[in-house]
Structure 1
Amino acid sequence: MLKVLKSGLFTTIQDAGRFGYLNKGVPVAGFMDTASAHKVNQLLENTIDSAVMEITMTGPILEFDNPTFICIGGAKHSVALNNDYIENFKVYKVSPGDILSFGKLEKGFRSYLAIKNGFKTDVILGSRSMYAPVTPRSHLEDNQTIAYESCEVFSPKIDELKVDSFLDSKVLTVSKGPEYGLLDDRRLEVLFFQNFTIANENDRMAYQLVEHIVGHKVSMLTSATLPGTVQLTPSGKIMILMKDGQTTGGYPRIFQLSDKAISILAQKKFGDIISFRLV
């Protein structure tokens, strides 16, 4: 078992997501930064959808009861295993009683802790991803325990990756959304030639942007949305739905983020700058 001595700001268990329930109003959930989560699972030779720990800004302190192997990726935290600092995207062996602690956040916003064979939390509606009220908790809590398989011996084919980090990337590639035609030249010029700032309202459900564009008076029926759907409100506010976002919405869907763009945005926090590029 893994004991959560301190849970951090918002630490969850996530896998590839919960599919087939959007028509019931259940979000996909899952990894916010899919690219980083896949890489740490691949280094441990897990399936890429194995459950990992997603760590937001302030990380946890964890104690291992059984031997295993771990790998961390995504945002750059100051991470120590028994007071020895460890690197991102590198496989490490842990022994019973070892303590893993996350210190200062240096760059990015979300880190991913993978463990050999994945975390073994309950599977609910086909996924281990935490999302209340589908799961009992929305995030991990102090003194909670998490099951994992003991692993004494593992010789990874590759034990370290030099990853081309996109933590400094600012450009979000987008495709045209169903209501893209609402955008006139004036709005398009602003959207594609201006930088935008991440607002304080940002989480696993949605990211809002500080800057507004010209609003609209379009009235539309509530329609399907997906992670990465970019909505424009009547007041000109831009909202980008993320992995725990609503499954329908009544605002025009002007863009759809690429998978890579969702991963890039997942590493942004309040005050960071982004821009849009149409592909």
Structure 2
Amino acid sequence: MLKVVKSGFFTSIQDNGRYGYRHLGVPVSGSMDQPASRLANAMLENPEEAAVLEITMSGPVLEFTKDTWIAIAGANLSPKLNEVDIDNHSVHRIRSGDRLAFGKHIDGLRGYVAVKGGFDTPEVLKSRSFYKPITEKDHLVAGMEVPYKEVTEFEVKISHVIPSEIHKVLKLSAGPGPEFDILDDNQKELLFNQSFTIAMENNRMAYQLQETLGSHQHPMLTSATMPGTVQMTPGGKLIILMRDGQTTGGYPRILQLTEDSVNKLAQKTFGDTLYFKKES
């Protein structure tokens, strides 16, 4: 078992996501930064869909009760093993009784911890991803125990990787959404030429932006949405839906981010700057 000594800000179990149930109103969920999650699994030669820990901004304190190996990827949250600094984007040998903790936030927002063989939590609708009320909890709390299989022998082939840099200024590639043409020429000009700032209201469901495009009076029926859908409220505020975002919405869908842009945005937080780049 993995014992949760301290939970951190928001730590959850995630995998590739829960597909095939959006028509029932069930979000995809899954790791916010899918490449980082897959990288942690790849270093351990796990299937890419193996369940990992997703750690947001402030890491937990975890105690391992069985021997295994772990890999850490994504945001640099200053990992420590038994109070000794260890490298991010690396594989580490774990002995029963070892403690993993995290310190100063260096860059990025979400880090991923994979264990050899994956975390063995229950599957709900073909996924282990936390999403309440589909799952009992939406994040780990102190005192919880997370099962995994003991591994005593493993030949590490990739012990360390160098990821691409995480930049403060971010360009998000996007194509026009179904209601893109409700924007006037001035709004379209602003959308692709001004910078936007991530607001305090950002989480696994959605990211709001501080700047607005001006009000509109475009009524519409509730329609399908997906991760990366950029909605505009009547007041002109932009909301970018993320992995836990609702499957339908009543605001105009003016843009649709690429999958790569959704992953990049997942590593950004309050105050970070972004631009929209029109996909050709």
For the Cα contact (< 8 Å) 1:89–1:163, is it kept in 2?
yes
Q: Which is further off, 7-16 or 176-185?
A: 176-185
Contact 1:109 1:266 in 2 (8 A): yes
CA displacement at 1:157 relative to structure 2: 2.4
CA offsets 1:98-145 (integer angstroms, 9 cap, x no match): 000011111111111111111010000110000000100111010100
Instruction: Note if 1:91 corresponds to 2:94.
Output: no
Q: Give the residue type in structure 2 aligned to 1:272.
A: D
Equivalent position of 1:231 in the other structure: 231
Report the 3-state secondary structure (helix = DSSP H, G, I; strand = E; otherwise coil) of the residue aligned with 1:170. strand
Distance 2:48 2:269 in 1: 26
- 1:261 equivalent in structure 2: 261
1:166 aligns with 166
Give 1:212's aligned amino acid: T
Kindly indicate whether residue 58 of structure 2 is the aligned counterpart of residue 58 of structure 1: yes
Q: Name the structure 1 match of 2:31.
A: 31
Number of the residue aligned with 1:108 = 108
Report the Cα distance in structure 2 between the residues aligned to 1:48 and 1:176, rounded to whole angstroms. Answer: 31
**What is the distance in 2 between the residues matched to 1:122 and 1:252?**
37
Whole-Å separation in 2 of the counterparts to 1:2 and 1:195: 43
Q: Secondary structure at the match of 2:211?
A: coil
Cα distance between partner residues in 2 of 1:137 and 1:218? 37
- What is the CA distance between 1:169 and its match in structure 2? 5.1
Query: Letter of the aligned partner of 2:233 in structure 1?
Result: T
Between the aligned partners of 2:139 and 2:167, the Cα distance in structure 1 is: 24
Instruction: Give distance in 2, aligned partners of 1:278 and 1:44.
Output: 37
What is the rounded CA distance, in whole Å, between the counterparts of 1:106 and 1:156 in structure 2?
27
Q: CA RMSD in A?
A: 1.0
Structure 1: stretches of 5+ with no match in the other structure:
none
TM-score where L is the length of structure 2: 0.97
The equivalent of 1:22 in structure 2 is 22
Figure out how many residues of one structure are paired with residues of the other and give that number: 279
Q: Distance in 2 between matches of 1:155 and 1:224?
A: 46
Structure 2 unpaired stretches of 5+: none
Q: Which amino acid aligns with 1:49?
A: E
Identity %: 50
1:158 deviates by 1.7
Which residue pairs with 1:46 in the alignment?
46
- 1:195-274 alignment runs, 5 A limit: 195-274=195-274
3-state secondary structure, aligned to 2:104: strand
Do 1:75 and 1:167's aligned partners in 2 also have CA atoms closer than 8 Å?
A: no
- Choose 201-210 or 259-268, whichever is displaced more: 259-268
Aligned to 1:130: 130
Residue type of the alignment partner of 1:132: K
Distance in 1 (CA, whole Å) between partners of 2:167 and 2:68 is 28
Counterpart position of 2:155: 155
Name the counterpart of 1:277.
277
Q: CA deviation at 1:214?
A: 1.7
Check whether the contact 1:213–1:237 (CA below 8 A) recurs between aligned residues.
yes
Q: Which amino acid aligns with 2:252?
A: P
Q: C-alpha distance in 1, partners of 2:169/2:99?
A: 32
Contact 1:167/1:264 (8 A) holds in 2: no
> What's the CA shift for 1:163?
1.2
TM-score, with length taken from structure 1: 0.98
